[in-house]
Amino acid sequence: MGRRYFDKRVICTYFGNGKQHDFKLFKESKTHISPYIKCITDSGYLGINKYHTNSAHPKKRSKKNPLSIEDKVFNRLVSRQRVFNENVICIIKRFKIMADKYRNRHKRFSIRFNLIAGIYNFEINM
């Protein structure tokens, strides 16, 4: 069994003012994801199947409906694939643009963030 190739590049960025939920930002951005790309998200993106059919997110449990063994196995598989997303976010946070309050001109935030993403993409291709 060979390892699957996961692309670790940052391919799209979108920003909002203040604290907004990630899924709300995704809907506002109107980002088109190719149907061939599998979108692996966290449980906050419930309803993404309406926007992108080739997506996966972990199943949620409730008090009345505990997870079955199959759901737990599925959640484990999704989390193993999502770890690559979290690693990319961690590396970008090292630049401190997302970790602290941004105190420069807000018009330049997207330019600087895209430059950091470009540096990261260049670094992983070397």
Q: What is the pLDDT along the chain (126 residues), one digit of tens a residue?
A: 445 555 677 777 777 777 788 888 888 888 888 888 888 888 888 888 888 888 888 888 888 989 999 999 999 999 888 888 888 888 888 887 777 777 777 778 888 888 888 888 888 876
For residues 97 and 34, what is the distance between their CA atoms, to the nearest angstrom? 28
Name which of 39, 69, 43 is nearest 51 in CA terms: 39
Instruction: DSSP letter for 45, please.
Output: G
Helix residue spans in the chain (DSSP H) = 22-29, 69-93, 109-125
Cα-Cα-Cα-Cα dihedral of 49, 51, 40, 90, to 10°?
A: -140
Hey, where are the domains in the chain?
15-59+66-73
For residues 46 and 35, what is the distance between their CA atoms, to the nearest angstrom? 18
